[in-house]
Copies of this chain bind each other. A is one copy, B any other.
Amino acid sequence: MRESSVKEKLIGVAGRLFHKQGYNLTGINQVIEEADIARGSMYNHFQSKTDLLIAYLEQFQEEWFRSLEEFLRPITDPKKRLLALFEYRIRRQQRAEFSGCPFTKISAEIGNEEAEVLKTVQKFKDSVRSYIAGLVAQVKHRNILTNEALTEMIYLMMEGGLVSAAIYKNPGDLKRGKKIVEQFL
């Protein structure tokens, strides 16, 4: 097998399992078995399970934003783009059976000593927040709130909606959040 495709396969399988079952409930054994790669090979490519986790998170972030850009490309109106960001998250949750935001989920699963993982999660959240701020800046909204406050509100309602989607296993709160945000644009 190609050198890189071993890595890719491990990240792919591990990511799917981490996402679906949870990080702590997924053992290295299961990952290597389903990826059909030997234990030693895995540890040749990744120093530790944490290392594999971080590789997965970094790849996920890349894919997430790439896929978002694609989803928003046909939409030009900034208002509609902002609402489409909600829609993007709703659809991803539906496809993932409402497992919640993978980054948030991981942050709840890791131990207090895993500082690097937490930093990776923070980096993703920072990027999402910046993305929202960028869209808000382009919207000529109703000015009930400042740009900063509107950004904060949207970010928090999205985070809250994602948590709620995972807890109730439905997109209700995300959809209601989207509707409320719509009233401010």
* A residues apposed to B, CB below 8 Å: 20-22, 24-25, 100, 104-105, 107-112, 118, 121-122, 125, 144-145, 149, 152-153, 155-161, 163-164, 166-168, 173, 176-177, 179-180, 183
Contacts and interface: CB of A to CB of B under 8 A. Distances in A.
Quick one: copies of this chain in the complex?
Answer: 2
A22 B108 CA distance: 8
Contacts of A125: 164, 167-168
A156 B152 contact: no
Contacts of A164: 125, 156, 159
A147 to B, nearest CB: 13
A93 to B, nearest CB: 14
Contacts of A111: 21-22, 25
23 contacts: A22-B108, A24-B24, A24-B25, A105-B108, A108-B166, A109-B109, A121-B167, A122-B167, A125-B168, A149-B183, A152-B177, A152-B180, A155-B160, A155-B173, A156-B156, A156-B157, A156-B161, A156-B164, A156-B176, A157-B160, A159-B159, A159-B160, A159-B164
Nearest to A110: B22
Contact of A173 (B104, B152, B183): B152
A167 B121 CA distance: 7
Contact of A24 (B109, B118, B179): B109
